[in-house]
Amino acid sequence: MKIMFKISKNSLALGLLPVLMLVNFSVAAEAVAKNAANKAVPEKLISQSYTLDQAIDYAIANNPDLQIAIERINQAQAQLGVALSAFYPQVTARVGYETSNNPSQVFSMIVSQRAFEPENITTINNPGYRQNFRPEIIGKLSLFRGGQDYQNSKAAELGIDAAEFERSIVHNALIEAVTASYYAYLASIEAQKVAQDSISAITSELNQTQLKYEAGTVLKSDVLSLEVKLAEAQDAQIRAANGIEISKANIANLLGLSSFQAFTVAPSSSILTKPKLTASFNDLLELAMTQRPEVKAAANQVEISLRKLKSEQGAYLPKADAYVSYGQNSQNPGFSSSRDYVTAGVTVEMDLFSGFNTQQRVSAAERKAAEARETERKTRLAIEQEVKIAYLKLQEGLARLRVTEVSVMAADEALRLVNEERRAEIVTVTRYIESEVARNKAQSNTIAAHYDALSAEAALKKAVGDWK
């Protein structure tokens, strides 16, 4: 009976084995599929919505140009460490090996190894081969290098400031670019809505006019005029849709997003504010010359070039180094304190003639300093021009905004009057459509003028360095 029970038990296990394997396989397959899905759809693909402030914050954290600028700051800090290393002692360990049967060298080896015996005199002309192991530790300290080390360290310190200014330049330009692309996207969205409204209105009128033409109550020219208007509205809709995609691509690039990253743009409270021009051009220009990192960077490059010029001029002066070495000379690799030695000293050297190398290096540094001064002047002129253009564009944008707001009111009133005349059948349908299209175009112009003014305001803030 026990045997039968064991057989039944084994049979049951064997019978359940395929079922258990199937269950385990299903669970494993589900886990693999889930992991594959997670890898195929990374977390970054989750659609994110950005307001203007959120887009700016994300761009600052992820834009590659800004990250490159930050890495250049780190590089500049490392360069300062390299320059400061000249003020520390330099310690070198080395091991030398040589073998020779040259009488003078062999005699020198014997003496250095403290192995000289009187009988060595008898074989001085034919000493045979002898080997020498020379482990040695050498310390060296630069005492004076014509001020070159000092000037190079100061130039390296200024290099950190230069990298910081570069980061500020990228930061300032990045915020302005994100803002302009954001407003361009919203303007394209509104333009597309206006175009779609125009298409709907014209299509409706075209259908009614087509029926009237078939009934013989309107002319063919009315149908053709509406078809032309419809084509114009469709063209505007195509251009607006393309503008949306281009603006979105620009935003993605500035935010450091890949092409497959899904995101949306959310309206911000800033779009409801009306741009303002609160200062005169002279005040804005003075502010720009004070705040713009480009001005500070250009002045910084002049200072760096002067430091490097002084460093090159230091090559005319003598150089002094102190050194100390500790080691031994031995026939065998092993170390013994009975054969060690210490050597210390100071060396002073000065280039008497370098083939005009020093002179040419100094001349090149002088030209570099002159170039830096001209670059600074050019930078100031470019910033003055940028502020002037941004100031004029904001003035233009505000003026356009006022004009378009008036045109919208006039277009609304004209459409109302034409609509009444149409009901009284004293105007053609073409005139009605022209009035409606004119009203839509006035609205579109107002929207475009509003966002253009906001973009011009952002450009002026960038021009004066508000986002450094």
Residue at 202 is within a domain: yes
- Is 341 in contact with 327 (CB distance < 8 Å)? yes
Q: What is 298-326 written as a DSSP string?
A: HHHHHHHHHHHHHHHHGGGS-EEEEEEEE
For 17-21, 225-229, 347-351, which range has the lowest pLDDT when averaged over its residues?
17-21
- Average pLDDT of the chain is 85
Q: Residue 360 domain-assigned?
A: yes
- Domain presence at residue 19: no
Element (H, E) at 388: helix 357-423
Q: Rounded distance, CA 204 to CA 85, Å?
A: 81
pLDDT digits (tens, 9 = 90+) for 274-299: 888 889 999 999 999 999 999 999 99
Beta 90-100 vs 130-144: how paired, if at all? antiparallel
Q: What band does 32 get if pLDDT is binned at 50, 70 and 90?
A: very low
Confidence at residue 121, expressed as pLDDT on a 0 to 100 scale: 85
Residue carrying structure tokens 């203007």:
52
Domain membership of residue 305 (yes or no) is yes
In a domain, 100, yes or no: no
Residue 445: its pLDDT value, please? 86
The residue ranking higher by pLDDT, 122 or 141, is: 141
Q: Distance between CA 468 and CA 466 in Å, rounded?
A: 6
Q: How far apart are CA 185 and CA 188, in angstroms?
A: 5
Helix, strand or coil, per DSSP, at residue 341? strand
**Hey, how many other C-beta atoms are within 10 angstroms of the C-beta on 121?**
10
More confident residue, 121 or 424: 121
Per residue in 81-93, pLDDT (tens digit) is 999 999 999 999 9
235 has a pLDDT exceeding 70 = yes
Element (H, E) at 346: strand 340-349
Does 60 score more than 60 pLDDT?
yes
Q: What is the mean pLDDT of residues 92-114?
A: 92
> Concatenated DSSP letters for 81-143?
HHHHGGGS-EEEEEEEEEEE--HHHHHHHHHHTT---GGGGTTSSS---EEEEEEEEEEEEEE
Q: Is position 437 within any domain?
A: yes
Paired tokens of 389: 């253009």
pLDDT at 429: 66
Using a pLDDT cut of 70, give the percent of the chain over it.
Answer: 89
pLDDT for residue 213 is more than 90: no
Rounded CA gap, 187 and 454, in Å? 11
pLDDT over threshold 60, residue 67: yes
325-341 burial code (b ≥16 CB/10 A, e <16): bebbbbeeeeeeeebee
240 vs 7, higher pLDDT:
240
Which of these, 413, 412, 402, 400, lies nearest to 439 by C-alpha position?
412
- 95: pLDDT confidence band, cut at 50, 70 and 90? very high
State the distance between the two ends of the chain, measured CA to CA, in whole angstroms.
Answer: 91
Domain count, the chain: 1
Residue 293 half-sphere exposure toward CB, CA atoms < 13 A = 17
Q: Give Cα separations from 98 to 27, 333, 341 (angstroms).
A: 72, 12, 18
**Length, in residues, of the chain:** 468
Residue 142 lies in a domain: no
* Three-class SS state of 4: helix
**Domain residue limits at 286:** 52-85+162-315+354-464
Closest CA to 50 of 258, 257, 243, 241: 257
pLDDT at 274: 83
- Residue 267 sits in a domain of what CATH number? 1.20.1600.10
Tell whether 436 is covered by a domain.
yes
- Spatial separation of the C-alpha atoms in residues 367 and 361, rounded to whole Å: 10
pLDDT in tens, 411-464: 888 888 888 887 777 766 667 777 877 888 888 888 889 999 999 999 999 999
Q: pLDDT tier at 336 (50, 70, 90 boundaries)?
A: confident
**Residue 56: pLDDT above 70?**
yes
Instruction: Please compute the mean of the pLDDT values over residues 144-155 and round it to a whole number.
Output: 94
